[in-house]
Amino acid sequence: MTASPRPGEEPRDIKSRLADRLLLDELTDQLGRTRSLLTEGPEEVAQRALDRFAGETEVEARIAGELAMTEPLAEPERFPEAHRLAMHALEVLDRWGSRDPKVPRLFFLTPVAEWAVEFVAEYIVQSYAKGVVGRLRSLYARREAQCPPEAPERRLLARARVETDRLAPGFSGGGSLGTILVVGTLALPALASLTNYLGAVDFTDRRIVIAALSVVFVLFLALAGVAMRGAGMARRRSRLIMEQPLAALWETIGHAGRPPEDDSVLFATVAIVLTALIWFVTPLAILGAIYFTG
């Protein structure tokens, strides 16, 4: 950086003035120049940042734009209200996110189907709630650290962080997976006995092979239906309850990326893979069994 001499200023005075200017001053000026570009919405901000930082990628321009926004809260006056709304939405999500699923009438199997769909939805919903709380804890702590010691925003963020820390143990996530794992462990001896029994079955018999593959077909069909229905229910409930409160909270915080999302897409993907196995792999396996055992 160079400095033009002021009228009557000696060269050593220029050197002294530059020495007094810290790197922090240079960085502050650079961020200030960037901030002057950020006078419109997010898309306009990205475009102006691109014009300012010619030759850089769009991602780098967005990074420069966020570095220039040093305010810990975009709307500090509305932040407490948005925080309370998000906390209330989390309570409603925990209570109603997976209850009373709708399943087709399956006669005596209807209660089993309802339990299975509710289990999948509960796992997704509670994992999502855990992710939201964890994201808020880290975000509040980071923004609090960016506040000057006596800034009112620091007190707002500290209070919100403490409240979120208190709520975190209640959102452990995972639904009843631990219970299912325990039951599965206890069922291992029974499964071992069943395996010994099946070992005496003649699997070279065409009828037995077709019957076994048919059972696998029905099982995979049921698993795919449960996963898809549970994921769809969790997705609808999560969006209905959390989408708008989180969007409002993220708006008051400002420049915090996107709010967390649930894992319903993952479960839907698993359901699609199971469906593909049902309709393509299982019929081929049955045909192969008929051919090789004929």
Q: What is the pLDDT of residues 225-236, one digit of tens each?
A: 888 888 889 999
- Which of 178 and 84 is assigned the larger pLDDT? 84
| Count of Cβ atoms closer than 10 Å to residue 135 Cβ | 16
Q: Is the confidence at residue 138, as pLDDT, over 80?
A: yes
Q: Sign of the C-alpha dihedral, residues 127, 121, 86, 262?
A: positive
**pLDDT class of 266 with cuts at 50, 70, 90:** confident
Average pLDDT over residues 198-214: 65
Residue that terminates a domain, selected from 29, 49, 68: 68
Residue 5 falls inside a structural domain: no
Residue 63 falls inside a structural domain: yes
Residue 274 falls inside a structural domain: yes
Structure tokens at 45: 């901000």
Structure tokens at 233: 């229910």
Residue 3 falls inside a structural domain: no
Residue that terminates a domain, selected from 28, 47, 68: 68
What single letter denotes the amino acid at residue 49?
A
Residue 180 falls inside a structural domain: yes
- 241 & 194 share domain: yes
- 207 & 272 share domain: yes
Q: Which residues contact 22 (CB under 8 A, 6 or more apart)?
A: none
- 48 & 87 share domain: no
Average pLDDT over residues 164-172: 89
- 103 & 191 share domain: yes
- 225 & 155 share domain: yes
- Which of 5 and 163 is assigned the larger pLDDT? 163
Q: Sign of the C-alpha dihedral, residues 253, 31, 146, 136?
A: positive
- 134 & 171 share domain: yes
Residue 225 falls inside a structural domain: yes
**pLDDT class of 131 with cuts at 50, 70, 90:** very high
Range of the domain at 27: 11-68
